[in-house]
Amino acid sequence: MEKNGKGFSMPKSSLKSTPSKDDSSQKSKEGRKVQFNNGGSPEERFDYSKSNGKSSSSADKGGRGNTANVKASKSKEKEPLELRLNQELLKNAKCLMDCEAAEIIQGIQDQMTLLSQDATIKLPVSFHKGLQYSQANARYTNTHSVRRVLDTLKKHGVVEGEERHKPLNMFSLILWMQISVIANACPESTEEVFALVPSLKSKKSILQEPLEVALMVIKPLRKVDSTSV
């Protein structure tokens, strides 16, 4: 099937997550354009919303020039569908670090053992997988302190005028997600953070110092694990 072929083909072609209203040739054209632009810098890849992030981040970066405009106009057709999807996610979404998620899911499992008198309630496979995964990746002994420390980074993230281009709640979700990605990755240095979260590079000068301080503070909170690098 064509769709499957696109999904599995080599990096050159587009990797679209939802079927769009556009016809496939337009999609593949846009896909190739995206790839060409992305080849230069990894910044464009960090898309939170599929087309929304692309058009707004390309507007912010500015350096793409006319191709950004072409991309923006092409993605406008897809935008209503994508934007609605992401606004639905945004309304009440709270981004969780893996350690926070592990605590919550573990709590539910404990409750389940109490409720297990009802034999028809079975926990689905994805619950166990989710629990295993979050526990394996829950690297901090004290999740609340980590959350507090990383939230101080939010203050520095909000300084720039970017927020004027995006709706405020979208911006804060993106910031929260960046913080969670940082926490989940347990970075050793600020270089690692900027390599893993390229969208923060634009604020490198502002974030460098607070990030170093934050990483130093959360380092002792890590669970000592003999198998980790």
> Which spans of this chain sit near other proteins (rule: CB under 8 A)?
7-8, 10-11, 15-18, 42, 45-48, 50, 85, 88-89, 91-98, 100-101, 104-105, 108, 118, 120-121, 123-127, 129-134, 136-137, 177, 180-181, 184-185, 187, 192, 195-199, 227-229
Q: Are 210 and 159 in contact (CB under 8 A)?
A: no
Q: How does DSSP classify residue 119? A: T
Number of neighbours of residue 199 by Cβ within 10 angstroms: 22
Q: Are 137 and 130 in contact (CB under 8 A)?
A: no
Q: To the nearest whole angstrom, how small is the minimum distance from the Cβ of residue 177 to other proteins?
A: 7
Q: To the nearest whole angstrom, how small is the minimum distance from the Cβ of residue 67 to other proteins?
A: 19
Q: Which is nearer to other proteins, 7 or 63 (CB)?
A: 7
Burial code of 104-140, b = ≥16 C-beta within 10 A, e = fewer?
ebeeeeeeeeeeeeeeeeeeeeeeeeebeebeebbbb
Q: To the nearest whole angstrom, how small is the minimum distance from the Cβ of residue 130 to other proteins?
A: 4
Amino acid at 166: K
Q: To the nearest whole angstrom, how small is the minimum distance from the Cβ of residue 78 to other proteins?
A: 14
- Which residues make Cβ contacts (< 8 Å) with residue 61, sequence separation at least 6? 43, 44, 68, 202
Q: Are 83 and 166 in contact (CB under 8 A)?
A: no
Q: Which is nearer to other proteins, 66 or 96 (CB)?
A: 96
Number of neighbours of residue 186 by Cβ within 10 angstroms: 19
Q: To the nearest whole angstrom, how small is the minimum distance from the Cβ of residue 131 to other proteins?
A: 8
Q: Which is nearer to other proteins, 15 or 168 (CB)?
A: 15
Q: Which is nearer to other proteins, 34 or 66 (CB)?
A: 34
Tokens found for residue 189: 């240095």
In angstroms, the CA 146 to CA 218 distance is 6
Tokens found for residue 117: 């008198």
Q: To the nearest whole angstrom, how small is the minimum distance from the Cβ of residue 166 to other proteins?
A: 16
Q: How does DSSP classify residue 224? A: P
Q: Which is nearer to other proteins, 66 or 85 (CB)?
A: 85
Q: Which is nearer to other proteins, 66 or 229 (CB)?
A: 229
